[in-house]
Amino acid sequence: MITVASIQNGLVIDHIPAGKGLKIFYHLGLDSANLQTALIMNVPSNKMGSKDMIKIENSDDVNLDDLGILAPQATVSVIRRGKTVKKFSLTLPERVVNLLFCKNPRCVTTVEQQVDHVFVRLPGSSSYRCKYCDHLLAV
Amino acid sequence: MLKGRHLIEPHDFTPAEMEEIFRLAETMAASMGDFFSLCRGMIMATLFYEPSTRTRFSFEAAMYRLGGQVIGFAEPNSSSVAKGESIADTIRTVACYADIAVMRHPKEGSALVAAGYSPIPVINAGDGGHHHPTQTLTDLFTIRHYKQRFEGLTVGLCGDLKFGRTVHSLIQAMARYPGVRFVCVSPGELTVPDYIMAGLPAGCAVECVVDQPLEQHIGKMDILYMTRVQRERFFNEADYLRLKDCYILDRRVLSRAREDLIVMHPLPRVNEIAYGVDDDRRAVYFPQARLGMIARMALIAKLLGVS
Ligand SMILES: [Zn+2]
């Protein structure tokens, strides 16, 4: 098994379904963030069989809002001096940009190439509404 | 302040802002000639990516009656669309030439995209089956013109209440005024969708009458809004033929109505209103088209900030 050193200060995103880690790594912008990061894939897991993990050293300043949709079962731990000081699970973001894509064939986003795909969550629900055509998408 | 704003959805303006437009429109209706040079030197662009002669005429006539000029296209083949230009680029180019733009487009949300890029006011003249806010403006102005109020009115809606977006917008718009009651008369297959009902404010009185004759209910209405059943909404011809003539307003049915009822229709009609009704003074669907043009005149003037 590969050993990746524990981080001293930062974030650990754990319980990412195996295979989704790389997509999340890019979506969170970690490829260009100039942070010390580790993406570990196919780690054996009692609960999940295998899982992916992301460790980010010396920063909590990563926008994790979209993670609630990308990997709702993931957990996030805040590490200080090598110890977990806070652990939280994810909630669904209120608004997402270029993460969900409208399935309505009559929606303007199907023809207007450069336009951002924007969805807003219905209050108290896991459904999102397309900003342009109002079609709903359940996540 | 309406100057510089867009109108994309029926509820973009508050009831107070709508009232501002209606007051100007009422003045225009009373003395049209006083406004013939209000928009002199100004240009309206009509960007019709799909044909809708009725709506385009109404907008163009409105601008001409204000002394303005009109440029635009009436079908996509002749335009930049055929060359694959994006809405975002088209509107930014058009904004270099015109002071206000009116857009009709088959894709839902297209007017919102245009508004996002446009430095000039954009009016949505229909984005697919999605929104058509100036139809709602027309309907409300017609009601206000004949009834001088919205509060406490009983609005009857009859025909296709399922697919008719005009009807949905009218219900939502009228529900913003206190004491309004709705009587919805339709076949079981064409009732008002649940999501429209669910969105209405608590305490809004809605009576749904399914598969019952219109004549039994017309007597309690202040307004009767008739709609046509559209062939393109049906997968099979048999359903369409069965439902298309299920509600017909003729003189016999109208004889059960109150003397101060007004009968409205977004036009064109097929045969849901008999020609025999046209001469009745309660029939206001042709005046409604004129009031629609006047409401658009007031809207244009307000968005341009010239009134
Ligand atoms: Zn959409």
Domains of chain B: total = 2
Confidence at residue A1, expressed as pLDDT on a 0 to 100 scale: 64
**Which residue matches tokens 């001096």?**
A81
Confidence at residue A5, expressed as pLDDT on a 0 to 100 scale: 76
- Smallest Cα–Cα separation from B243: which of B262, B257, B258, B228? B228
CATH number at residue B216: 3.40.50.1370
B238 and B278 assigned to the same domain:
yes
Its ipTM equals 0.88
Confidence at residue B80, expressed as pLDDT on a 0 to 100 scale: 61
Contacts of A110 in chain B (CB under 8 A): 107
Structural domain includes residue B76: yes
C-alpha A95 to ligand 1 mean position (Å): 14
pLDDT tens, A47-106? 889 999 999 998 777 889 899 999 999 999 999 999 999 998 899 999 999 999 999 999
Residue B287's H or E segment, with its range, is helix B285-304
B260 and B137 assigned to the same domain:
yes
Q: What angle do CA A15, A100, B11 make, to 5 degrees?
A: 135
Query: At a CB cut-off of 8 Å and minimum separation 6, what does B283 contact?
Result: B263, B273, B277
DSSP, collapsed to helix, strand or coil, labels residue B237 as: helix
Structural domain includes residue B2: no
Tokens of B36: 């013939």
CB B300 within 8 A of CB B39: yes
- List for chain A the helix, strand, coil content (%; round to 5): 10, 40, 50
Q: Which residues pair with B43 in a beta bridge?
A: B69
Q: Which amino acid, A8?
A: Q
Query: At a CB cut-off of 8 Å and minimum separation 6, what does A68 contact?
Result: A90, A91, A92, A93
- C-alpha B98/C-alpha B29 separation (Å) is 26
Confidence at residue B81, expressed as pLDDT on a 0 to 100 scale: 66
B212 and B140 assigned to the same domain:
yes
B75 and B215 assigned to the same domain:
no
Structural domain includes residue B34: yes
Closest-CA distance of chain A to residue B297, Å:
27
- C-alpha A35/C-alpha A107 separation (Å) is 38
C-alpha B200 to ligand 1 mean position (Å): 23
pLDDT tens, B211-230? 999 999 999 999 999 998 88
Residue B267 DSSP code = S
- The percentage of chain B sitting over the pLDDT mark of 70, rounded to a whole number, equals 98
Structural domain includes residue B84: yes
Q: What is the pTM of this model?
A: 0.90
- CATH code of A10-89, in short, is 3.30.70.140
Can you give the residue range of the structural domain that contains B42?
Answer: 10-132+289-304
- C-alpha B6/C-alpha A78 separation (Å) is 45
B245 and B157 assigned to the same domain:
yes
CB B183 within 8 A of CB B155: yes
The domain defined by A95-138 folds into SH3 type barrels. (2.30.30)
Contact B112 A109 (CB under 8 A): no
- C-alpha A54/C-alpha A44 separation (Å) is 14
Contact B109 A110 (CB under 8 A): no
